[in-house]
Structure 1
Amino acid sequence: MSPAREIRSSTSGSERAAAALAWCVPGGAHTYAKGQDQYPEDRAPIIARGLGSHVWDVDGHEYVEYGSGLRSVVLGHAHPLVNERVAAELAKGVNFARPSIAELAAAEDFLTAVPTMEMVKFAKNGSDATTAAVRLARAVTGRDVVAICGDHPFFSTDDWFIATTGMPAGIPRVSAELTTSFPYGDLDGLREALRSRAGQVAAVVLEVETMTPAPDGYLDAVVDLAHDEGALVIVDEMITGFRWDLAGAHALRGMRPDLVTFGKAMANGFSVSALAGRRDIMERGGPETDEERVFLLSTTHGGETHSLAAFRACVEVQRQEGTSARLLEIGGRLRRAVEEVVADAGLSDRVVLRGRDCNLVFATLDETGAPSQEYRTLFMRGLLRRGVIAPSFVVSSALDAADIEVTAQAVRETCIDYAAALDRGDPSPWMGGRSIRPVFSHRR
């Protein structure tokens, strides 16, 4: 792909497929973050295939892709070793009446990779794993309330979390009463949340970090404070696990939570998630416990051999190639390249990169410096026109120097439109239709 090759031809194939999807599937996608309303109205490609860091839509347009599979495709599409191991398992059958030996091998590989945890149970999506952690915490503590970090955007599709969002339709109001929140990085805020529901909080749920690193001593203090109040600590590593570090961001930061949930980058896009934790807690989900038993995770497809083979292959590749370090290096090069062209355009205070280099996102700010969905639409549309799909700048290890060059040039050219919109005080001529909408939007 030549740098910033502008895609000018019709996207009618994608438009037709998107309309058909919307007719068959609520929202036109199986994940809200992939929905039609998360992309510019006239630039929402439907993907036909991917290889490495590139994807092709149904009209044959080629793109450099970021945020692949909502951050799950950490090694790039169709990674040869992953595909080889998956194919080998498919030939032997994928699901049986009893656990397969592949489940033992995967569990041992996981616990070796994540040595802070003592037991693990696999599932297919992050929501189920995190809700199982909440259920365990409630059983162990005999309490009902969950304290979630309000600065972290998503934990589960289940009622205990969705009741707190802008889309609570269909959820009994009592569910919201069982969840409280606290601000990230603010121990006094957490202390107040626990004090306001004294003796009721079963678990404190948070990510290790998102856009900014934790203040010194904060993570250890969270654990100590929660334990002092009789609550367990659940760390959601859906985004950070196997991306920040093979052992997880909590291990990288020296934190020792009670329960940790993983997903996304575990299996390079194949469906695997995990709940891991202390043995004394996790055993409550098995028949060996002397305590009241917890109906934990019971998934028909949790032990599918081909997905577990993908997970094991990912661990092998990460060990051989130092994937976490490579993601940091690639992301660092991308950050420098993008920030340079943004600065050249005089837009450093309007297009802002945030987050750890392996997990970069961008903020699009309007004339007043406020976050703007309209300018996000302009920015994403400009990149799409020039062959870059970028709901974020989250990298995979398949990206190379040529991809970064294409991206930087696409950003450079899009900044011309951005600057013109700022001068005009109106981005709508460059939006291609309606604005992108927030995921948690309760009405059109």
Structure 2
Amino acid sequence: MTQATEDTEDTEEFSLPRSRQANERLHALIPGGAHTYAKGDDQYPENLAPVISHGRGAHVWDVDGNRYIEYGSGLRSVSLGHAHPRVLEAVRREIDRGGNFVRPSIVEVEAAERFLATVPTAEMVKFAKNGSDVTTAAVRLARAVTGRPRVAVCGDHPFFSVDDWFIGTTPMSAGIPAATTELTVAFPYGDLAATEELLTRYRDEVACLILEPAGHTEPPPGYLAGLRELADRQGCVLVFDEMITGLRWSEAGAQGLYGVVPDLSTFGKALGNGFAVSALAGRRELMEWGGLRHSGDRVFLLSTTHGAETHALAAASAVQTTYAEEGITARLHALGERLAAGVREAAAAMGVGDHLVVRGRASNLVFATLDEHGRPSQEYRTLFLRRLLAGGVLAPSFVVSSALDDDDIDRTVEVVAQACAVYRKALDAADPTPWLAGRPVRPVFRRLV
């Protein structure tokens, strides 16, 4: 793999000509050039957005033939590494038996039993394909159960659903009626008093509180338990979005780690190791509203043609078994701790320890790039990503998979050190522009292209 050099005067820059051509083809046929905005080429330095050919374990190859150590695999979904043999074996077995039938497959009940054994705080589960499917189902169910119209979302978390009830609150709200958006209100993470004030202001109007139970910081002591008590007192449904925390925090997610039981919870991402599967889980009393064994109005909870494809459910069961038998969550934490320590040491050695900042739980690390004034900077992020790519590291985050080994971590830290040397030069110049070679990367949620 050709590596770019560190000085702005050098003429030989790392380039991806075939990926660049493939990106043009993608944009010609697919709005945004990708099926997930977070995978868009605007998230990468100009002309340096690799188009992937294939992956195995913790490595991926682009169409130009370059190999990368990959982090944040599949937007955190591939936590066991690409083409994991145990998962593929389960998937192949079911594909050979047929994938979708006119009646439920026995695989559906087996997958439900496996899930509820993994997440014993839930009593029933329903599977779907995407995280948005199940978070929106949770909101619909909460509204039906409580008879209330409003949804309270934690404003400190960036994403809950592609559906109108949430996207209308973001800068990308075009096409969503204001009347829909007005029914979604926000509360700050970690602040029980502010949340109680919100619920008092909209007394008897809020159907549910929905939040990621943990993020880049640990929950303040007593916070989740206090939120549980507040939801009970105010008569609203408590929903934990465990898309990221599920399996990565503990096999049973954040609710299993912190010991606070939500009414409903949603899982996805790591659940299928890249195969499309998500889950809505919760108390039987609530979940049965979407079933056939109650006397009230029917709730259209979830009904998806492909939600119970046998191969995806088999993948989910294999993932959960692998986590339990091989101690995957502990391994993710150990790898993340090794990586975080190495990156912090490299950044400090190059004098940029206050500017390249590693944050989050060890199993879910992200990094912030700060300018000479300590402010978040897309320009410095661009500089940093360029150097990582040139060194063979594809890292929109530092979220680890269990397929990484010590050599991968050591090589990553070495490349980070090289990137930090350039970062230091840009800070000294108080201007990263000469090191960008194009426009800076951009946030996903922005009003204008």
Whether the TM-score (by the shorter chain) exceeds 0.5 is yes
Rounded to whole Å, the distance in 2 between the matches of 1:441 and 1:402 is 38
Q: Match of 1:63, SS?
A: strand
Q: Provide structure 1 residue ranges, at least 5 long, that are not aligned to the other structure.
A: none
- Name the amino acid aligned to 2:225: D
Deviations along 1:189-213, whole A, 9 cap, x unmatched? 1111111211100000011110111
| Per-residue deviation, residues 350-384 of structure 1 (Å, max 9, x unmatched) | 00000000000000000110001111111111100
Q: Is the 8 A contact 2:76 2:244 kept in 1?
A: yes
Paired residue for 2:319?
314
CA distance in 1, matches of 2:5, 2:410: 12
Picking from 48, 51, 59, the partner of 1:54 is 59
User: Equivalent residue for 1:411?
Assistant: 416
Q: Of residues 10, 17, 38 in structure 2, which corresponds to 1:12?
A: 17
1-structure distance, mates of 2:428, 2:14? 29
Looking at structure 2, the residues matched to 3 and 38 of structure 1 have their Cα atoms a distance apart, in angstroms, of 21
Using the size of structure 2 for normalisation, the TM-score is 0.97
- Corresponding residue SS for 2:74: helix
What's 1:433 paired with?
Answer: 438
Deviation at 1:59, TM superposition (A): 0.7
The residue that corresponds to 2:288 in the other structure is: 283
Are the counterparts in 2 of residues 42 and 432 from structure 1 also a CA contact under 8 Å?
Answer: no
> Is 1:443 equivalent to 2:417 in the alignment?
no
- Of 266, 272, 276, 1:271 maps to 276
- Give 3-state SS (helix, strand or coil) of 1:432's partner: coil
State how 1:238-253 maps to structure 2 within 5 Å: 238-253=243-258
Identity score, percent: 59
Given that 1:3 and 1:410 are in contact with CA atoms closer than 8 Å, whether structure 2 keeps it comes out as: no
Q: CA deviation at 1:5?
A: 10
Letter in structure 1 aligned against 2:370: L
Separation (CA, whole Å) in 1 of partners of 2:345 and 2:413: 9
2: distance between equivalents of 1:3 and 1:246?
39
Contact 1:2 1:406 (8 Å CA) reproduced: no
Partner residue in 2 for 1:361: 366
1:423 to 409, 424, 428: 428
Are 1:329 and 2:337 an aligned pair? Answer: no
**Residue 135 of structure 2 corresponds to which residue in structure 1?**
130
* Counterpart residue type for residue 214 of structure 2: E
Kindly state the Cα deviation for residue 432 of structure 1 after the two structures are TM-superposed.
2.5
Larger mean Cα displacement after TM superposition, 125-134 or 242-251: 242-251
Secondary structure, aligned partner of 1:180 = strand
2:96 and 2:396 map into 1 onto residues whose CA distance is 36
Matched with 1:188 is 193
Report if the CA contact (8 A) 1:5-1:386 is conserved: no
Q: State whether residues 342 and 415 of structure 1, in contact with CA within 8 Å, keep that contact through their aligned partners in structure 2.
A: yes
Other-structure match for 1:295: 300
SS at match of 1:221: helix
Q: Structure 2 unaligned runs (5+)?
A: 7-11
CA distance in 2, matches of 1:420, 1:294: 60
Cα shift at 1:85: 1.0
Q: 2:38 aligns with which of 24, 33, 47?
A: 33
CA displacement 1:213-232 (0-9 Å, x = unmatched): 11111101101111211111
Q: Tell me, yes or no, if structure 1 residue 344 matches structure 2 residue 349.
A: yes
Asked if structure 1 preserves the Cα contact closer than 8 Å seen for 2:15 and 2:48, the reply is no
Q: Which residue identity is paired with 2:20?
A: E
CA RMSD in angstroms comes to 1.5
**Partner Cα distance (2:15, 2:304) in 1:** 43
Write the distance in 1 (CA, Å) between the matches of 2:239 and 2:414.
42
SS at match of 1:14: helix
Q: State the alpha-carbon separation in 2 of the partners of residues 251 and 273 from structure 1.
A: 18
In 2, Cα distance between the equivalents of 1:411 and 1:108?
43
Q: Partner of 2:218: helix, strand, or coil?
A: coil
CA distance in 2, matches of 1:4, 1:101: 54
Aligned to 2:149: 144
Letter of the 2:61 partner, please give it. Answer: W
TM-score, normalised with respect to structure 1: 0.98
CA contact (8 A) 1:262 1:274 kept: yes
